[in-house]
Structure 1
Amino acid sequence: MISESEWRQIDDVVFDIYQAENVRDLRLRFLERMKQLVPHEISVFDLKGRRRGRDVFFDPVTTTIEKKALDSYYDEFIEKDYTSWATSQMGDIVAYRDSDFISDGMRQKSEFYQKWMRPMGVVYGCGINVFSHGVGFATVTFARDEGEGDFTDKELDILSVTARHLGEKFHQLYPVGVSYRGRGGSLENFNELYGLTAREAEICEMVCSGLLPAEIAASLTISTSTVNRHLANIYQKTGAGNRSTLLRKALRSLGKDAVFD
């Protein structure tokens, strides 16, 4: 059973989720907070979308995994991860434990375990599927060493509670799903069609890459109010009444596979 002190910590996590000004800070803060509630050695929080009928995971953040190891996962081992198929079949389950759907013997014989998990000294894994209103937004993965033992039912309950709030926050930010512009994509035709200025075009493309006004402002070294003023001009020129409509209209010009919804 979740204790009173743990509920207070969960309340702090939920508060952080809804107060976060941008998705990157939200994810990093979440990982940091969860070290106390669900002890672990490594963790990663990536974004999730669909491309050509397949799940795509991108823009991972972590405070515990070296860049080389993180890159190797997404470049080489993501297709060999024994959790990939199982989590894609989970429906409305938001939190899972690796050992719930694969035996220790099979897991420890796998190439993913032998070449990626074991070198980092971790044995047990669990994770969160972040989704809401039928849309998947992200995944969070945790792993720890043999000495700490497998993740407990109580820890999965804690992850389930926080996952529901993550899903609602992401749905507020990205009601049609997290957008992703693949390499080589260009909004040049869209920008010309609606007569966007160079700065407006730049901001429009950053919006379509999933950045929020505060993140755009930090990247361009301008104020958030200036970004919002440009966005208002973009909405007026394109006839988009809000961010979601702008995303749909702009990304449609890149082809159907350029937006995850």
Structure 2
Amino acid sequence: MSALEEIPMEKNDFLLYNEIIYHIHTCQDMDDLKRSILAQVKLMIPYTYASLIVVEIDPETREIRHSDPFCLPDSFTALEEAWIDRDHQDESFWVSHAPESIVVRSSDLTGEARLESPIFQELYQQYNIYDTMSMNLAYDHQVMALLTLYRTRADGVFTDQEAFYLRALAGHVNYAYYTMAQREASKPPKTRTMEELVQDYELTRRETEILGLVFQDLNNEEILDRLHISRHTLLKHLQNLYRKCGVSSRWDLLKLRP
């Protein structure tokens, strides 16, 4: 039995735990489930930011691809998309390879040295992030997503008790996510032409141009090189696209691809 498994759960926490499980298993669609997971986890484990990122593994090369960040608050999505562009630089990247759910805290991996890493310095520092706790979602030895919670320095590091709580929720979160993914995959796809997308969402010329490049699987850096615009301008156009198209991430935009 591991150290995390030996930590007892208080009666009130156990009641809350059961309430969280109920909400997770009664969601109506994938977006509802993602939002519920992040919101319900926060009831037991306070955090400043959180994300749920889709994980796909190439069956032949075993190469990992992260995509479709779903974040609370929504404004955190831009940072997670930047992280996806350079995910191999993160010391916890290996978590996405694990065939079963594990919980990892960045403060355990490298201690205070984590604050000097490129990821912390160039991405997390602007949000005053001090510690992270991640758990991969896996079912039947298949990795599906990566859940990450973030805290600022004022809130301190994640505790052993909180790591235990997250691990205790893993089985239910994994099964709910797996069954919802299977249900979503069985739905017939709905596609529209580019012209219909432009008309339906009232896109500007520049928004249409950027959407076309996103549909070509270009990342932010490649789009910047192609259009010769500033990063701020690109992020502003992407936010407008998300708003007009009623989506919350780049991956959702790709689902609209003709």
Q: Could you tell me the percent identity over the aligned residues?
A: 17
Distance of 2:84 and 2:98 partners within structure 1: 21
Counterpart of 1:68?
78
Distance of 1:93 and 1:61 partners within structure 2: 19
Distance of 1:30 and 1:80 partners within structure 2: 27
The TM-score with structure 1 as length reference comes to 0.62
1:44 to 2:51 alignment: yes
Q: Detail structure 1 runs of 4+ shifted over 6 Å in the superposition.
A: none
Q: 2:64 aligns with which of 55, 60, 81?
A: 55
Whether the 8 Å CA contact 1:46–1:61 is kept in 2: the answer is yes
Whether the 8 Å CA contact 1:49–1:178 is kept in 2: the answer is no
Shift of 1:123: 0.6
2:157 partner SS: coil
Distance of 1:116 and 1:206 partners within structure 2: 36
1:79 partner SS: helix
Q: Is the alpha carbon distance of 1:153 and 1:13 closer, same or farther for their aligned partners in structure 2, counting shifts above 3 Å?
A: same
Counterpart of 2:176?
169
RMSD: 2.4
| One-letter identity of the residue aligned with 1:17 | I
| One-letter identity of the residue aligned with 1:45 | L
The TM-score with structure 2 as length reference comes to 0.63
Whether the 8 Å CA contact 1:97–1:127 is kept in 2: the answer is yes
1:78 to 2:62 alignment: no
Whether the 8 Å CA contact 1:48–1:57 is kept in 2: the answer is yes
Counterpart of 1:189?
none
1:6 partner SS: helix
1:21 partner SS: coil
Distance of 1:70 and 1:125 partners within structure 2: 13
Whether the 8 Å CA contact 1:95–1:163 is kept in 2: the answer is no
Distance of 1:114 and 1:44 partners within structure 2: 19
Shift of 1:154: 0.9
Unaligned runs of 5+ in 1: 180-202, 208-261
Moved more, 108-117 or 92-101: 92-101
Counterpart of 2:123?
116
Aligned length: 180
**Deviation digits for residues 140-161 of structure 1 (CA, Å, limit 9, x no counterpart):** 0001012222111111111011
